[in-house]
Amino acid sequence: MEEIPLAPSRRRFFLTGALGGAGALLAVLAGWPVWRFLSPRAGADAAENIAFPRNQVAVGQAHFFNFRGRSAVLLHRTPGEFVAFSAICTHLGCIVQWLPEKGEFLCPCHGGRFSAEGRVVAGPPPQPLDRLPVVIDADQVRIG
């Protein structure tokens, strides 16, 4: 039996395809943990309403928690004044951080900054943080 020789262009096509497929697979494997880190968590423990003791959050401080399967934050702006926001940046969905020394939220992904009222102060976010309803009931702060 005679072997049929393959043209060099056919071998080159095969090697290019194999290396491209392996490179794409490696890119997906390396990118998946980064995607999971940056994307907000969805939870099955999505409570409709949540309550905290008023004294759990000091004035000027923030308390992060899960609300309806997403990250949220309760901020005690002034004595007796509480506000709650979604902690998900409106730019690409990263979780914001509270900077008490500046009195604002910071998105660590692209430097977006939000005021204590949730408004965009600087950076790429197109919209303010989503505000959540807050009700103060005796010694409890209820969100939802």
pLDDT greater than 70 at residue 82: yes
pTM of the model: 0.65
Averaged pLDDT for residues 123-141? 90
Which pLDDT tens digit goes with each residue over 114-128?
A: 999 999 999 899 999
Averaged pLDDT for residues 39-67? 78
Closest alpha carbon to 82 in 131, 122, 44, 34: 131
**pLDDT at residue 12 in the model:** 85
CATH 2.102.10.10 is right for the domain spanning 50-143 = yes
Residue ranges per structural domain of the chain: 1-38, 50-143
Residue 139: phi and psi, rounded to 5, are -100, 15
